[in-house]
Structure 1
Amino acid sequence: MEHDFWQTRWKNDQLGFHLSFVHPILKRNLSRFGLVADARIFLPLCGKTLDIGWLLEAGYRVVGAELSEIAVSQLFESLKLVPDISSWEGGQYWHAGRLTIFQGDIFRLGVDDLGPVDLVYDRAALVALPASMRAAYAAQILALTHAAPQLLITFEYDPTEKAGPPFPVWPEEVADHYAGSHTITELSRKDVLDASLSFRDAGVSRFVEVAWQLLPSSR
C-alpha cells in the first residue's frame, strides 16, 4: 500500500489489525525453530505488536521495521523503554536494550543496517501488501536476512467479498515467493471469522488464518 495509507491509519487510530494479545501461533510454534538463547528475531512491518514484549521477556533480541513513527513511539512507551534515536538512510533508528526498530521504508533497509537474523516472524507484513508489491517484498526479506528461517502467517478468503488489507495469500503464492530458498510446511489453518469483526460484518463467508514454517533448504 502507499505510505500515506498506513500513516493515516495510525494517525486516525484505525488499528483493527492490532491484536490485544500475544499471537497464539507464535506461542505455539516458536519452539519448532530451535532458537538459542539471545537469538535475534526480525519482525517486518511490526507495528506495536504485543508479540515483541513477549519475545523480549523470553530472552530474545528483537529487531523490527515499521513505517509509522506513531507506532514505534507507542511500542517503546508500552514497554516502558526509553530509546536512543538516531538516523539511518530510510528514517529513524530506535534502540533500547535488546530491542531495535528501523522506523521508515523497509525497502531502503540494507543487509549491513539490519545485521544478523536468526528468524523472520512475519505476522502481518506479506498480507498487508497488495499483490503488486508482494514479490518485491519477499525478495527484500530474502536478501536482508540471507534466507533465514521464517514463521509466516497468511490469510485466505474470497476477495470479492471484501477488499483488503489484510489481503488473501494462497499457498501457491507462498511457494512462488519462497520455495526456491526454503522448505515450506503448513503448520495450521483455522477459520477465524468469528474473531475478525470487520470481515464478519462485511459478510465474508470464510476467513482462514494459515501458519507456515519456512526452513532454508540450503542450510
Structure 2
Amino acid sequence: MQHDFWHDKWQNNNIGFHQDQPHALLTQYFRSLDLKPHARIFVPLCGKSLDISWLINQGYQIVGIDLSPIAIQDLISNLGLSFKEAQSGELTHYQHPQIELFVGDFFQLTTQQLGDVDAVYDRAALIALPPQMRSQYTQHLLDITKQAPQLLISLEYDQNSLKGPPFSVPEHELTEHYATHYQIKLLETITENLKGKVIAYENVWSLGKSPQID
C-alpha cells in the first residue's frame, strides 16, 4: 500500500473510516488499562479522530502520528489549540503541552522522537494495513513504545467478500503478532454490517504486559 493511496483518500475527502463521535468501545473500555492520571498515550495513524479530544478531556497526554498533513491540520483546527511547529528528521512535529503530533511515515518515527509512553490506543492502524505490512507495523510499534500496553480495536470478516481497507485481522494473526509480549484479552465483540456488504465482528482487545516469570 503506497503513500499515494492515503494521500488521495484525504485529498478527495474519501474518509468513511472517520467517525463523527468518539468510539463507543474506547469510552467504555479504555479505563480497563488501569493507567495513572496524566498518562501519556500514543495513537498511531491517528487521522483527525475525535477519540483524541476524548482522551485529552480525560486528562491524558497524547502523541499521534499520521501520514496525511490534511488529517493533522484538520485535527489541529478541531482541537482549537496553539501548537509550535518544527522539523524532526523526516517528520513535521507539532507540539502543545497536552498533545504532540507528527506528520509523516510511521516507520520513520523513532523511540527518541516518540519519547516514553504509558499505553497505545490502536483503533484504525493495524486494520488499515495489508497483510504484508502488518508484521512490520507491529514490530516497529513494539520497538518504539517499549511494549507499552494497548487497547486495540480490530475487525474480523470474510476478506474474500470485501477488499480492504479496513482489513480483516483474525484472532490467530493478532496472537502471532503479540502473544509473546502481552497477555491478550478479548473485552467485547460487536457485530456490524461493514459498508453494507459483509457481516463483520468488531473486537476490542486489552493487551497487557505479561507477568514476569522467576
Contact 1:181 1:218 in 2 (8 A): no
Corresponding position of 2:202: 209
How far does residue 207 in structure 1 lie from its aligned partner after superposition? 1.2
Q: CA RMSD in A?
A: 1.0
Q: Percent identity?
A: 41
Partners of 1:15 and 1:78 lie apart in 2 by: 16
CA deviation profile, 1:131-151 (whole Å, cap 9, x unmatched) = 000000000000011100000
Partners of 2:32 and 2:153 lie apart in 1 by: 15
Partners of 2:74 and 2:179 lie apart in 1 by: 36
Corresponding position of 2:7: 7
- Give the number of aligned pairs: 212
Partners of 2:106 and 2:141 lie apart in 1 by: 9
Partners of 2:51 and 2:73 lie apart in 1 by: 16
How far does residue 218 in structure 1 lie from its aligned partner after superposition? 4.9
1:88-103 aligned at under 5 Å gives the runs 88-103=88-103
How far does residue 96 in structure 1 lie from its aligned partner after superposition? 1.8
Partners of 1:171 and 1:114 lie apart in 2 by: 28
Corresponding position of 1:135: 135
**TM-score normalized by structure 2?**
0.97
Corresponding position of 1:152: 152
Corresponding position of 1:25: 25
CA deviation profile, 1:13-42 (whole Å, cap 9, x unmatched) = 001000011001111111111111110000
Question: Structure 1: 5+ residue runs without aligned partners?
Answer: none
Moved more, 83-92 or 67-76: 83-92
**TM-score normalized by structure 1?**
0.94
How far does residue 82 in structure 1 lie from its aligned partner after superposition? 2.1
Q: Provide runs of 4+ in structure 1 moved above 3 Å.
A: none
